[in-house]
Amino acid sequence: MIHQALALPRLAHPFLTRGFGSSGGVFLHQSRTKHQGVAFCAADDDQFASSKSIQTRKVVEHVCLLKAKQSLLSEEKEKDMLDYLYTSQYQMRGIVAISVGSIGDKSSGDFTHALFVRFQRKEDLEMFYENPLFLKVLNEHVTPFCHVCPLTCKTPFLSLALSSRLLILLVLLYLDVSSLMLQGLTNVDYESEVEDDILSIFRKGEEYNYGEEFVLLVTFAKNASEKNIKDAMDSFAQLTSSLPSLVVQSTQGSNFNESSGEFTHAAVVRFRSFDAMEIFVEGREYKDMWRSQFEPFVEKSVALHFSVDPVGTDVM
């Protein structure tokens, strides 16, 4: 099922453009090391003052962005790919939440699809990377449609976002990686915190059945101080937490995926609707925050968005 989505330009505060997306998940890894992750669940505006006293629980989050060959990916194959990725959660332990989608405006970025997965612990993420069932899904329904190039290409191997662990596992699955090398696959892992509540942890309930998933990846410049980075990420967290009428949940953190260091930090925000997302991104507060706290210190950024609708529970 195709849903509304959008992609946002790099190195500027995002201005939304409408497109199409698929329900499901995005592969993104987010982690918190020096900077604490922050999560804010939906609440009435007059209840926000008490949010600081809410107990939280640590979670580990994974984001993956991929670039597919649109000429090879028919609508039916795309639906199968997203369905297989989404329903993989029912066959693997450790996954507590997942969403996946097709990014709408392909001309505004390098990526076509995204996956977001939440785990309880880092050990669960490690097992996820090595899970034979998930690797089979990648082998049969994802990598055949990803951009590849000969090993003789000029792109440095280490600059690719493909995890070295994943590459080794693909070899074990008898993929011919001796002549092909994946491009356009970016992984980010981070540790964050969410409210210590079942619905918030598992992203279940009516509030999570619909909405807009917003993903922001940034690379802070080497000359950015720890204070610059902390101030920027704190300002983003404070802004999302101050708008519970728009935001259902927001998490963020620093990337701890050593084999995929293209981006240093990530944030994932679930908005209540596309309109809520648009109000946030087009608002003066967000634009002012980006110009003052991020733009002077960010070397690279990617912002994208996709629509979330209820999905089935049938295992593919």
Tell me the per-residue pLDDT of 86-101, one tens digit each, with 9 for 90 and over: 999 998 989 999 999 9
Per-residue pLDDT tens digits for 176-212: 333 333 455 789 999 999 999 999 999 999 999 989 9
- What residue spans of the chain are helical by DSSP H? 75-87, 122-130, 132-137, 164-172, 198-202, 206-209, 226-241, 274-282, 284-289
Would residue 283 count as lying in a domain? yes
Cα separation, 93 vs 286, whole angstroms: 37
Q: Which residue has the tokens 């410049």?
A: 221
CATH code for the domain in which residue 185 is found: 3.30.70.100
**pTM: predicted TM-score of the whole model, two decimal places:** 0.74
Cα separation, 41 vs 278, whole angstroms: 19
Number of domains observed in the structure of the chain: 1
Residues 6+ apart with CB under 8 A from 136: 173
Q: Provide the b/e sequence for 175-202 (b: ≥16 CB within 10 Å).
A: bebeeebbbbbbbbbbbbbbbeeeebbe
Per-residue model confidence (pLDDT) at position 237: 97
- The mean pLDDT of the chain is 76
Closest CA to 95 of 129, 118, 114: 118
- Judge whether 142 and 114 are in contact, CB under 8 Å: no
251 CA to centre of own chain? 10
Cα separation, 10 vs 244, whole angstroms: 26
Domain residues for 232?
Answer: 2-37+57-308
Would residue 43 count as lying in a domain? no
Would residue 47 count as lying in a domain? no
Taking the chain, what is the end-to-end CA distance rounded to the nearest angstrom?
Answer: 15
Confidence class for position 116, pLDDT limits 50, 70, 90: very high
Token pair listed for 221:
């410049």
Cα separation, 277 vs 248, whole angstroms: 11
CA-CA-CA-CA dihedral for 122, 127, 129, 135, to nearest 10: -160
Per-residue model confidence (pLDDT) at position 310: 55
Would residue 44 count as lying in a domain? no
Sign of the CA dihedral with 120 first, then 227, 27, and 258 last: negative
Would residue 270 count as lying in a domain? yes
Closest CA to 99 of 247, 265, 269: 269
Cα separation, 143 vs 139, whole angstroms: 6
Task: Say whether 255 sits in a helix, a strand or coil.
Answer: coil
Would residue 48 count as lying in a domain? no
Per-residue pLDDT tens digits for 244-294: 999 999 999 999 998 888 999 999 999 999 999 999 999 999 999 999 999
The better pLDDT of the pair 160, 44 is held by 44
Would residue 196 count as lying in a domain? yes
Would residue 118 count as lying in a domain? yes
